[in-house]
Copies of this chain bind each other. A is one copy, B any other.
Amino acid sequence: MNDELLQVLRRPPRERADAARNRARVLDAAARLFAEGGVEALTVDAVARAAEVGKGTVFRRFGDKSGLVAALLDQRERELQERIVFGGPPLGPGAPARERALAFLDAYLTHLADHLDLVRLSETSAPGARYRVGSYVFWHRHLAILCADRPDPDHLAHVLLGTVDADLNAELRERGYDWDRIRAGVATTVGALLGPAPRA
């Protein structure tokens, strides 16, 4: 058994103790700064300073600012993901695809309403950031599976997620839309897209 093989056995080379400690510190500092000064106070420099850590450390851990913010949201999103996988219908398994998709997007809108600024920041702080974040991949796969009987489930899932784009919805809010109107619009859209006619 050679070294390469051993290398492969312990999959993730395990994070060093100082690295783990600093990750926690940074996340902590970021949460604190956001709580105090909102999204505006969330500059990488400020976070690094508050965490008593070098700036380079923040970027090594989280890739870029978008990744840092995504990590900040991760906890909340994980809860929704678990409800989808293990919870009861209509969010969890058991309900018809259309109901599940609707329940998911509705739940996601609640999440969005609660954390609009953060989600928007993580989605707009770099081109393409939205689609690379782990949670987007999860949502997308979930919806694609629910659309399996459509002509192009993968594309359709992206379109459905487009309705909950943070930047769009932030803009709609600024133009006076209330969340109920957005919810209704999304529901109508889902109804039409996953509607009765499964297409040949």
Contact = CB atoms under 8 A, between A and B. Distances in A.
Interface SS of chain A: helix, strand, loop or mixed? helix
Interface string A146-170: 0000111001101100110101101
A20 interface: no
Contacts of A193: 189, 192-193
A195 B196 CA distance: 12
A171 B159 CA distance: 13
A193 B174 CA distance: 25
- Enumerate the 10 nearest inter-chain pairs by beta-carbon distance, A residue then B residue, closest first: A162-B162, A155-B185, A124-B127, A131-B171, A192-B193, A152-B185, A192-B192, A128-B171, A159-B189, A159-B163
Interface of A: 120, 124, 127-128, 130-131, 150-152, 155-156, 158-159, 162-163, 165, 167-168, 170-172, 174, 177, 181-182, 184-185, 188-189, 192-193, 195, 197, 199
